Amino acid sequence: MNIAKRILALFIAVVASATGAMAQTDAAKQELSVEESYLQESIEVMVIREQSRAESRDMKLVALEYIGDAIEAGRGSEEIQKALEYMALEGVLNKSREGGLGRVTNNYPDVRAKAAAYLGELGGEAAKDSLLKIVLADPEPMVLTEAIKSLSKIGLNENDETATTISWIVTRFDILNPDNTLALAALDAFEALAAKNGGIKDASSIRTIMRIAEGPYIRPVQARARDVLSKLRQYGAQKK
């Protein structure tokens, strides 16, 4: 019996040792996998950063493709937000000129518009702040429309900051060059911001919507403005 017990004890010890070794191997593999993943992500971010700052428009478009893949896979980061902001302001605030004083050589509205759209996909406070910079600086309706759509998607409107900024840009265009697409994006944004923040308290935003309803816009846009006004009034009724 003693011999049998010794053999059983030895067998248990061998199995325990083997199990422990396997556990250590699995842990090592898991740790290596985490390190490999971090390294891969670091390389990806580095490539995106360098491509975003390249002079070539095509290289920037490739960077935007990589950014889209990263955001879709849940790998959005502060570095990606910074790369998007840089490209979204390139040619407007970040300018390169021929000979230092000549024409702007990095004015790519399509790149800025796509970067603005991806900032909306990325989301968060920093992305919202980047989009507000774009709305205040960019002269192109195409870029502004994408920026407003992204602000609508993010939905942050502390102290009506976002609504006020959108109102300002629509008013600026309304005076000189009314744009139906931009106005429609603004109306959608006002409605979305109100839904996410319990209404809009900014009087300038209400005046902007009224101006669209009565201004030089096509009838479907005017009708949409009246619809948004009606919905905004409901928030006031709910508080009473």
Report yes or no: 116 and 72 within 8 Å, Cβ to Cβ: no
- 27 compared with 214, residue with greater pLDDT: 214
CA 37 to chain centre: 23
Q: Is the pLDDT of residue 38 over 60?
A: no
Per-residue confidence band for 173, with pLDDT thresholds at 50, 70 and 90: very high
Give, rounded to a whole angstrom, the gap between the first and last alpha carbons of the chain.
Answer: 88
Least confident of 11-15, 39-43, 108-112, 190-194: 11-15
pLDDT of residue 44: 85
Average pLDDT over residues 116-126: 97
Let me know: does 202 contact 164? Beta carbons within 8 Å: yes
Over residues 184-195, the pLDDT tens digits come to 999 999 999 999
Q: What is the pLDDT of residue 170?
A: 96
- The model's confidence at residue 176, banded by pLDDT at 50, 70 and 90, is confident
Other Cβ atoms within 10 Å of 195 Cβ, number = 14
Q: How far is CA 145 from CA 46, 164, 173, in A?
A: 29, 15, 12
Q: Does pLDDT of 111 surpass 90?
A: yes
How far is residue 236's CA from residue 220's CA, in Å, rounded to a whole number? 25
Residue 6 pLDDT: 47
Q: Does residue 21 surpass a pLDDT of 50?
A: no
Contact 82, 127 (CB under 8 A): no
Q: Do 138 and 156 meet the contact criterion of CB atoms below 8 Å apart?
A: no
pLDDT higher than threshold 50 for residue 84: yes
> pLDDT tens, 138-158?
999 999 999 999 999 999 999
Arithmetic mean of pLDDT, 48-54? 91
What φ, ψ does residue 32 adopt, rounded to 5°? -65, -40
- Give the pTM: 0.81
Q: How confident is the model at residue 61 (pLDDT cuts 50, 70, 90)?
A: very high
pLDDT at site 95: 87
Rounded Cα distance between 63 and 50, Å, is 9
In the numeric block, the tokens 């600026």 are attached to 172
Q: Which two tokens stand for residue 3?
A: 């011999």
- Whether the predicted pLDDT of 175 surpasses 60: yes
Q: What pLDDT was estimated at residue 98?
A: 84
Sequence-ordered alpha helix ranges (H) in the chain = 2-52, 57-72, 78-88, 109-122, 125-137, 141-154, 161-176, 180-197, 203-214, 219-239
Q: Measure the CA–CA gap between 184 and 189, rounded to whole angstroms.
A: 9
Q: For the chain, what are the domain ranges?
A: 31-154, 159-240
When the pLDDT of each residue in the chain is averaged and rounded to a whole number, the result is 85
Per-residue pLDDT, averaged over 67-80, amounts to: 94
Asked if 239 and 202 touch (Cβ cutoff 8 Å), the reply is: no
